[in-house]
Amino acid sequence: LAKAKGFIRAEIGHRIRLRKTPEIIFEFDESIDYGNRIETLLHQLHTDDKPMENDEE
């Protein structure tokens, strides 16, 4: 994407007919990895909280 940002910027400028198109900055979004980590931790907590089965009745 970084290599194509000039082309993307020009296409946006042509398609929405702007005289000056804002600069485009691409940043890596870590929120998906963060969300997956939280989901894993919650799943571990949930499985750890399950009561142990007792065969001594």
19 class by beta-carbon count within 10 Å (0-12 exposed, 13-18 middle, 19+ buried): exposed
| DSSP conformational letter for 38 | H
3-state helix, strand, coil in the chain (%, to 5): 50, 0, 50
Q: What per-residue confidence (pLDDT) applies to 47?
A: 85
Q: pLDDT digits over 8-57, tens only?
A: 998 988 898 878 888 988 888 999 999 999 999 999 988 877 766 655 54
Full-model pTM = 0.46
